Amino acid sequence: MSLKKLLFKTLITRKIYLYYNLYIRNKAHRKRTSYSQWGEDQIIKDFFKDKKKGFYVDIGCFHPIMYSNTCLLFDNGWNGINVDLNQTSIDLFNIVRPHDYNFCEAVSDKIQEKDLFLDWYLGPINTIEKSFYDESDKKVTFVDLIKKKIITKKFDDIVQKITNLPKINFLNIDCEGHDYNVLSSIDLDHYSPELICIETHKVNNEETIMYQNIIKLLKNYGYKIFKRCGPSTFFNK
């Protein structure tokens, strides 16, 4: 094990890193007009017309501030569920959004053992899709890659831990090549979010097929494309 990783794993240095990441690097104490990478939160804000109370679900949440599509909602009084593969991400959410429901889990349409490709530091590309990792590895430098096994869970297995689950207003999915599987695990007739945002890269044939399958699946539930913003596609009824 590298010295850097060993230091990171100790309680004190890990705590220092978390607070450095939040309050020095990302200035968590300062509210902003936008946090999303491509301005997605402005579309969300306009859609909900500054609604003061609401409930979001963010699967593949990554960071409570940086590139977040839900931070502006949080600033506006919303709360919700945040799910990510990386425990470091969830630790950050537990600090900034302690009253949210924060889970370190892998969501999928079936319960199965999968290989997890994880940047132990805080990389933006963590996935259980081998093909997505292979493609990303050509473009992204992983600080220190961890490969391990993980058992996936269905969406209902996670939300059943919450008593009196509120109405879901906004659903955000950004799961690095596993987005269709995540979406398939959610009973949209039952939960029926008003607005859905899914990261839908179309840089190769496999991702284009997944994008088409997402559109078909959502059409079956009565959703249509609302807007596109960067690599994200919004759907509503």
Sign of CA dihedral 102, 105, 108, 110: negative
Q: 142 Cβ partners below 8 Å, 6+ apart? A: 119, 123, 125
Which percentage of the chain shows pLDDT scores above 70? Answer: 87
Angle at 85 between CA 62 and CA 119, to 5 degrees: 75
Residue 158 corresponds to which amino acid? I
Which residues span the domain enclosing 31? Answer: 3-236
User: Please, are residues 170 and 195 in contact by the beta-carbon 8 Å criterion?
Assistant: yes
Q: Look up residue 196 and give its two tokens.
A: 């859905």
In whole angstroms, what is the distance from residue 208 CA to residue 204 CA? 6
Three-class SS state of 73: helix
47 burial class (0-12, 13-18, 19+ CB within 10 angstroms)?
Answer: middle
Residue appearing with tokens 């209902």: 156
Confidence (pLDDT) at 205? 65
Average the pLDDT over 118-125 and give the result. Answer: 70
Q: Does pLDDT of 154 surpass 90? A: yes
Segment 194-222, tens digit of pLDDT: 999 999 876 566 678 889 999 999 999 99
What pTM did the predictor assign?
0.91
CATH number for the domain harbouring residue 145:
3.40.50.150
Structural domains in the chain (count): 1
Predicted confidence (pLDDT) at residue 26 exceeds the cutoff of 60: yes
